[in-house]
Amino acid sequence: MKSPPPVPRDALRLLSVVIPARNESGCIAATVEHLHVELRLQRVPHEIIVVDDGSTDETWEILKELQTRILECKPIQNTGNNGFGNAITFGFNHLNGDAVVVMMADESDDSRDVARYWQILNEGWDAVFGSRFVRGGGVIDYPRHKLLLNRLANFYLRILFGVKLNDFTNAFKAYRRTVIEGCRPFLSPHFNLTVELPLKTIVRGYSWTVTPITWRNRRAGESKLKIKEMGSRYLFIALYCWLERYFSRGDYKTKSGTDA
């Protein structure tokens, strides 16, 4: 199955960047400031929605201070159940933009790639999937055991769904708002949302393309991803999307999308 080609569309108006943050006081200010500067330099109209997901450190206080200096910074507190996926979904519920990028709070994702996402979406694509493992992409200081598990999981998903994407599990991707609304409801309260979003985009027939991105391991704080807890959750959502693809008879498929 290949992605349908992009179609002519009106220019996008506003980019929303959703950043889930839990106990990220050591890095969230730099992440927001660097992102804002890059998007201003590239003349990308934007808002930065940082979702405080139950932080117990000074993350929220830092965000409120940032808001006084950066008008595009719009911090919100997740008032529902905590969890990476829940925080992102909460951010989606507060979008003003007609396109969205999910970005990590630890600045492991490159702000320059956010601007490139915006440019590619404006070519007419419904979604842009960044890959760290194609020519032009790369990773810096990736823990070896996590890299091995990552490549095994992505190989499994690539074979299961028969697509050439090789970096499903990275959260750092871009979508038109119509895709986000068309992929609801979201089932993943945790990191498995990183798999649910691209798989539903593909299964439901939206157009997508791949672009190289770079990733750097966090330099402050600690990772919230607990691999031992996530295996069964990733498997559940992958099988759910696989069943939808083959047994839903197109009930959830976008009217504009076609298999090619």
What pLDDT was estimated at residue 145?
83
More confident residue, 249 or 12: 12
What pLDDT was estimated at residue 136?
93
pLDDT reading at 223 higher than 90: no
Task: Give tens-digit pLDDT for 41-94.
Answer: 999 999 999 999 999 999 999 999 999 999 999 999 999 999 999 999 999 999
Which range has the worst mean pLDDT, 9-13, 24-28, 37-41?
9-13
What pLDDT was estimated at residue 22?
97
What pLDDT was estimated at residue 260?
33
Which range has the worst mean pLDDT, 71-75, 123-127, 218-222?
218-222
Task: Give tens-digit pLDDT for 240-255.
Answer: 999 999 898 788 888 6
Over residues 106-129, the mean pLDDT reads 96
- For the full predicted model, state whether its pTM sits above 0.85: yes
Give 46's strand partners. 15
Q: Where are the domains of the chain?
A: 15-247
What pLDDT was estimated at residue 220?
62
Both tokens of residue 10? 């009106």
What pLDDT was estimated at residue 193?
96
Smallest Cα–Cα separation from 2: which of 210, 242, 202, 246?
Answer: 202
Task: Give tens-digit pLDDT for 33-49.
Answer: 999 999 999 999 999 99
What pLDDT was estimated at residue 18?
98
The string over 62-71, giving b where at least 16 C-beta atoms fall within 10 Å of a residue's C-beta and e elsewhere, is: bbeebbeebe
pLDDT reading at 257 higher than 80: no
Q: What is the largest CA-CA distance in the chain?
A: 51
Q: Which residues contact 117 (CB under 8 A, 6 or more apart)?
A: 101, 128, 130, 173, 174, 211
Q: Could you give the CA distance from residue 68 to residue 241 in angstroms, rounded to a whole number?
A: 42
Q: Could you give the CA distance from residue 131 to residue 154 in angstroms, rounded to a whole number?
A: 11
Task: Give tens-digit pLDDT for 179-211.
Answer: 999 999 999 999 999 999 999 999 999 999 999
pLDDT band at 258 (very low <50, low <70, confident <90, very high): very low
Over the chain, what is the mean pLDDT? Answer: 91
- E strand spans, the chain: 15-21, 46-52, 76-77, 99-102, 127-131, 138-140, 173-176, 208-212, 214-216
pLDDT reading at 3 higher than 80: no
More confident residue, 146 or 62: 62
pLDDT reading at 121 higher than 50: yes
Over residues 118-135, the mean pLDDT reads 96
* Fold category of 15-247 in CATH: Spore Coat Polysaccharide Biosynthesis Protein SpsA; Chain A (3.90.550)
